[in-house]
Amino acid sequence: AETEREQWSGQYGFLLAAIGSAVGLGNIWRFPGVAYESGGGAFLIPYLVALLTAGIPILLLDYSLGHRYRGSAPAVFRRLGKRFEALGWFQVAISFVIATYYTVIIVWAIRYLGFSVTLAWGEDPLNFFIGDFLQDAGATVTTDVVGGIFWPMLLVWVAVLVILGLGVRKGLEVANKIFIPLLAVLFLTMVVRAVFLDGAADGLNAFFTPDWSALADPNVWIAAYGQVFFSLSIAFGIMLTYSSYLKRRSNLGATGFVAAFANSSFELLAGIGVFATLGFMAAQQGIGVGELEGITGVILSFVTFPQIISMMPGGPIFGVLFFTSLTLAGFTSLLSILQVPSAAIQEKFDLSRRAATLGVGGAAALISLALYSTTSSLAVLDTVDYYTNNIGVVASAILTAVLATFGARKLPELQRHLNAVSSTRIGTWWRVLVGIFVPVALTIMLVWSLYQVVTEPYSEYPWSFVNTAGWGAVALMAVSALVLSAVRWRRPVDDFTPSPD
C-alpha cells in the first residue's frame, strides 16, 4: 500500500541520488572520446540539441511515470494497461544485464587505484592491462577465473547488497550523500591539476576546436543522441523507479533540469580534464594531440592514463584521484541500476526488501562473477555493452514513448501532473517531443544500429561470437520480459488510482 512505500527523506536526497546515477563511467571516459571523434567543439551543438529534444523530455517522462503511478517499472506499465507490463520487465532485464558488467569496470578502477600508488603497470601499460591484469584470452568464452578480479568483485557485490539492503533512505540516500560530494571534490581537484600541466592548452585546443563539417555527418548526430541517453540513465527504469520514492509534493521539473545540468557539467569537466592531460602527453612525446592513439573507452582509462600518470610529476596522486573518481562515479550508478530489478521483484512477488535484494543481487553477483571474472571478460563485456545500449536501450526508449503517447494516451495527464507538482511549467513542446520527435529520431537510430550489426561483426570479433554474446543478451531480455509478465502478482497492483493533483 501507498503508506508502506519507501521514501527519500526529501528532494535533496533524491536529487543527489539522481545525479549519482547519471554521473558514471559514461561521463568520465565515454564523453571525452565521443566528443573528440565527433567534431570536437562542434559536437557541443548536436549534444545540446540531443539533450534538449530527447534527453530532458524522456527524463521528465520517466519522472512523471514513476511519480504518478508509484511503482517499479513493471507495476507502472501495468497500471497504464495490463498488456504493457512486459515493457517494464524488459527495462528490468536491461538493468540487470548492465549491472552484471558495470561491476567489473568498477573493480578494474579499484585495482588501478592501488596500482597508481607504485605505478605498478611498469613500462608497458597496454601489456600490463591486457596481459598481466586481465589475462585476456580474446573473443572466446572461458571459465578460467582471474583471482585479482574475482575477489575484489565479490567485495563490491557485498557492499552493494549491504547498501541496497539498508533501503532507499538509509542505504541509497546516505551512500549518495557521502559519495557524490566526495566525487565532486576529488574530480575537480584532478581537473584543476590537469589544466596546469605543460601542454594542457594544446589538449584543450584539440578538444574544443570545432570541425563544423561534422555537423553534416549523420553519425555525429547519432553519437550525440546515444551519448545523451546513456549518460542520463533514461528509458530503462532507473529514473522511473527513483522518482516513485519521492513524496507527493515534489518539484519534478526543476529537479530534472538540475540533474541534467549537473550531469552535463560533469561531462564537460571530464572533457577538459582528459584533454588537458592528453595535451601533456603529446607535449612529452613531441607530437600533436591529433596523433595520439587510445583516446576512447577502456583503453583511455586503463592504458593511456596509466602511461601519462607514469610521466607526470606527482603522478601517483593524480592516479589515485582519477581512479577514485572513476570508482565513486561507477559505484553510485551501479546502486541505481540494481534498484530497478530489486524493486520490481519486491512488488511482484511480495518480498521483503532484504529478500528481494539478496535474491536479485545474489543472482546478478553469480552471473557477473561467472562471466566477467574470467580471462574472456573483455570481449564479452564489450559486445554485451554495445548491443544492450544500441539495441536494448534504444528499443526501450521508443517503446516507452510510443506506449505512453499512443498505447495508453497518457501524455496530457502526465503533463498536467508535472505541472501540478513543479514550479517550472512544462509546455506543449514536451508532448510534441515525446510523442513524435523522439520515436522518429530513435527509430532512425535503431535501424542504423541494426543495419550495422548485421552487415559487419561488431569490433571485428568473429560472427559466431558477436551473435552469441550480443543477440544472446538481447534475446534474454526479451524472453525474460515475456516470461516474468506472465507470472501472477502476489501483491495487489491493479486497484490503483493516481491521487488527484
**What does the alpha-carbon distance between residue 328 and residue 309 come to, in Å, rounded to a whole number?**
20
Beta bridge partners of 145: 374
Least Å from the CB of residue 21 to ligand PHE = 5
231 interacts with Na ion by CB under 5 A: yes
3-state secondary structure of 141: coil
- Counting residues that bind Na ion (by CB under 5 A) gives 5
**What does the alpha-carbon distance between residue 122 and residue 322 come to, in Å, rounded to a whole number?**
18
**What does the alpha-carbon distance between residue 416 and residue 465 come to, in Å, rounded to a whole number?**
48
Is residue 99 within 8 A of residue 334, CB to CB? The reply is: yes
Among 13, 26, 319, 341, binds Na ion (CB under 5 A): 26
- Closer of 125 and 273 to Na ion (Cβ): 273
Least Å from the CB of residue 20 to Na ion = 10
328 interacts with Na ion by CB under 5 A: no
**Contacts to Na ion from residues 253-272, by CB under 5 A:** 263
The one of ligand PHE, Na ion, none whose footprint includes residue 333, by CB under 5 to 8 A per kind, is ligand PHE
Distance set, CA 56 to CA 16, 174, 298, 350, 445 (Å): 17, 26, 28, 33, 18
- Closer of 383 and 415 to ligand PHE (Cβ): 383
The one of Na ion, ligand PHE, none whose footprint includes residue 98, by CB under 5 to 8 A per kind, is ligand PHE
Is residue 237 within 8 A of residue 91, CB to CB? The reply is: yes
Is residue 63 within 8 A of residue 252, CB to CB? The reply is: yes
The one of Na ion, ligand PHE, none whose footprint includes residue 461, by CB under 5 to 8 A per kind, is none
Site residues for ligand PHE per CB under 6 A: 21-22, 24-27, 98, 230-231, 233, 238, 333, 336-337
**Which range of residues in 22-30, 53-61, 193-201, 368-376 is near Na ion by CB under 5 A?**
22-30
Q: What is the DSSP string of 142-179?
A: ---B-HHHHHHHHHHHHHHHHHHHHHIIIIIIHHHHHH
Least Å from the CB of residue 278 to Na ion = 21
- Closer of 233 and 241 to ligand PHE (Cβ): 233
319 interacts with Na ion by CB under 5 A: no
Least Å from the CB of residue 312 to ligand PHE = 25
**Which range of residues in 49-57, 223-231, 321-329, 439-447 is near Na ion by CB under 5 A?**
223-231
3-state secondary structure of 248: coil
337 interacts with Na ion by CB under 5 A: no
- Closer of 27 and 400 to ligand PHE (Cβ): 27
Mutual angle of helices 147-167 and 315-348, in 10-degree steps: 50
3-state secondary structure of 51: helix
3-state secondary structure of 191: helix
Calculate ∠ Cα 394-37-455, nearest 5°.
Answer: 50
- Closer of 281 and 299 to ligand PHE (Cβ): 299
- Closer of 113 and 328 to ligand PHE (Cβ): 328
Q: Which three cell numbers stand for residue 50?
A: 540531443
Least Å from the CB of residue 488 to ligand PHE = 29
- Contacts (Cβ under 8 Å, ≥6 apart) of 283: 198, 199, 202
- Closer of 321 and 337 to ligand PHE (Cβ): 337
With the CA atoms of 385, 337, 231 and 427 taken in that order, what torsion angle do they form, in degrees rounded to the nearest 10?
A: 130
Least Å from the CB of residue 407 to ligand PHE = 25
Least Å from the CB of residue 91 to Na ion = 18
- Closer of 264 and 485 to ligand PHE (Cβ): 264
Least Å from the CB of residue 264 to ligand PHE = 11
- Closer of 27 and 449 to ligand PHE (Cβ): 27
**What does the alpha-carbon distance between residue 107 and residue 161 come to, in Å, rounded to a whole number?**
15
Is residue 21 within 8 A of residue 239, CB to CB? The reply is: yes
**What does the alpha-carbon distance between residue 83 and residue 235 come to, in Å, rounded to a whole number?**
18
Q: List contacts with Na ion (CB under 5 A).
A: 22, 26-27, 231, 263
